[in-house]
Amino acid sequence: MPSAAERTPTTRPVRRPPSPAPADPAVAGKALAVHARLCPVYGCPIPYFHSLDPVSELVSSLLSHRTRNAESGRAFKALRARFADWDSVIEAGLPEIEAAIAGVTWPELKAPRIRDVLRAVRERCGSLDLAFLARMDVEAARAWLQAIPGIGPKTSAAVLSFSTLRMPALPVDSHHHRVAQRLGLIGPRVDVGPSHAILRAQLPAEWSAQDLYDNHEILMLHGQQVCHHRRPACGRCVLVDLCPSAMQPTREP
Ligand code: SF4
């Protein structure tokens, strides 16, 4: 009998997102220059911060939306302590799930979303096991995940990149997005969701999972430590000569 990882999930075909337009060579060159400057600052290769199975990473990612890492981490541990496994979360009452994740932003929205997403995965796979995604290419795996209501580009990329799947996907969080916008890698009106495909297309197609993870982490860390939301510290930024927003600290975003 095939293992859960070898079984083909019972899923309807999913439509792949359209391929993004090829990156402007000048912008792609800047994206590479930014990567090369920030890597030594933040110490690439950066160790992975999680080694969760993909379903656990999915829950962790759903908890993390607009929530500090410490709080979403506590909520994740509380969920694990309260429920024997993720199947038990599907069967649980919403007040019980909501109580376990009370420390995150919008627990009343996240509790039903987590339960419904887990239920959809189980219905489409026959069990709560996403190991089969490792046999798909990244875009197909992302399309499969994003066909489930409640899973967007950031969550699908996080599941593939941060989990034990270690697939070459590029997540974009709010810090990464802000820094990319200020640097002119994406336009001022490009939202976080569409920015995933644009920023990925600027990086070499052959980059490994670690390369893309590093790219996400260094831009996120730069946003947290230097290119702050309100007062970017341009005076101590190693990207100042590459940045059209340099020395305009009050400029949004
Ligand atoms: S120069 Fe200023 S605005 Fe540009 S990336 Fe650096 S900190 Fe951010």
pLDDT for 14 equals: 63
Q: What is the pLDDT of residues 149-162, one digit of tens each?
A: 999 999 999 999 99
The answer to whether the CB of 242 falls within 8 A of the CB of 30 is yes
pLDDT for 66 equals: 84
Are 158 and 212 members of one domain? Answer: no
Q: How far is the CA of 247 from the centre of ligand 1 (A)?
A: 7
Q: How far apart are CA 164 and CA 167, in angstroms?
A: 8
Instruction: Determine whether the shortest distance from the Cβ of 100 to ligand 1 is under 6 A.
Output: no
Give pTM, 2 decimals. Answer: 0.90
Q: Is residue 91 part of a domain?
A: yes
Q: Is residue 228 part of a domain?
A: yes
Preceding omega of 45 cis (within 30 degrees of 0): yes
Q: How far is the CA of 184 from the centre of ligand 1 (A)?
A: 11
3-state secondary structure the chain: CCCCCCCCCCCCCCCCCCCCCCCCHHHHHHHHHHHHHHHHHHCCCCCCCCCCCHHHHHHHHHHHCCCCHHHHHHHHHHHHHHCCCHHHHHHCCHHHHHHHCCCCCCHHHHHHHHHHHHHHHHHHHCCCCCHHHHHCCHHHHHHHHHCCCCCCHHHHHHHHHHCCCCCCCCCCCHHHHHHHHHHCCCCCCCCHHHHHHHHHHCCCCCCCHHHHHHHHHHHHHHHHHCCCCCCCCHHHCCCHHHCCCCCCCCCCC
Q: What is the pLDDT of residues 196-238, one digit of tens each?
A: 999 999 999 999 999 999 999 999 999 999 999 999 999 999 9
Q: Is residue 148 part of a domain?
A: yes
pLDDT for 13 equals: 54
Instruction: Determine whether the shortest distance from the Cβ of 223 to ligand 1 is under 6 A.
Output: no
Are 30 and 82 members of one domain? Answer: no
Are 61 and 138 members of one domain? Answer: yes
Give the mutation target among 219, 225, 228, 245 for probing the ligand 1 site: most ligand atoms within 8 A of CB. 245
Full residue range of the structural domain in which residue 76 is found? 54-162
Residue type at position 196: H
Give the mutation target among 226, 230, 239, 247 for probing the ligand 1 site: most ligand atoms within 8 A of CB. 239
pLDDT for 80 equals: 95
Buried-state track 179-209, b at ≥16 Cβ within 10 A, e below 16: bbbbbebbeeeeebebbbbbbbbbbeeebeb
Paired tokens of 220: 């996120």
Paired tokens of 138: 């990244």
The total of structural domains in the chain comes to 2
Are 237 and 156 members of one domain? Answer: no
Torsional class of 175: left (φ above 0), alpha (ψ -120 to 50), beta (otherwise) = alpha
pLDDT for 188 equals: 95
Q: How far apart are CA 214 and CA 162, in angstroms?
A: 11
- Ligand 1 atom 8, closest CA: 227
Are 145 and 229 members of one domain? Answer: no
Residue with tokens 């490994």: 208
Determine the atom of ligand 1 nearest the C-alpha atom of 240: 1
Are 142 and 183 members of one domain? Answer: no
Instruction: Determine whether the shortest distance from the Cβ of 219 to ligand 1 is under 6 A.
Output: no
Are 62 and 158 members of one domain? Answer: yes
Q: Is residue 233 part of a domain?
A: yes
Instruction: Determine whether the shortest distance from the Cβ of 34 to ligand 1 is under 6 A.
Output: no
pLDDT for 1 equals: 40
Instruction: Determine whether the shortest distance from the Cβ of 30 to ligand 1 is under 6 A.
Output: no
pLDDT for 22 equals: 82
Q: Is residue 119 part of a domain?
A: yes
Q: How far is the CA of 203 from the centre of ligand 1 (A)?
A: 20
Q: Using 70 as the pLDDT threshold, list the residues of the chain that sit under it.
A: 1-20, 249-253
Are 58 and 139 members of one domain? Answer: yes
Q: How far is the CA of 222 from the centre of ligand 1 (A)?
A: 9
pLDDT for 2 equals: 46
Q: Is residue 219 part of a domain?
A: yes
CATH number of the domain that residue 236 is part of? 1.10.1670.10
Q: How far apart are CA 45 and CA 35, in angstroms?
A: 12
Instruction: Determine whether the shortest distance from the Cβ of 246 to ligand 1 is under 6 A.
Output: yes
Q: How far is the CA of 225 from the centre of ligand 1 (A)?
A: 11
Q: Is residue 183 part of a domain?
A: yes
pLDDT for 20 equals: 67
Are 152 and 224 members of one domain? Answer: no
Paired tokens of 150: 């409640």
Rg, C-alpha atoms of the chain: 19
Instruction: Determine whether the shortest distance from the Cβ of 226 to ligand 1 is under 6 A.
Output: yes
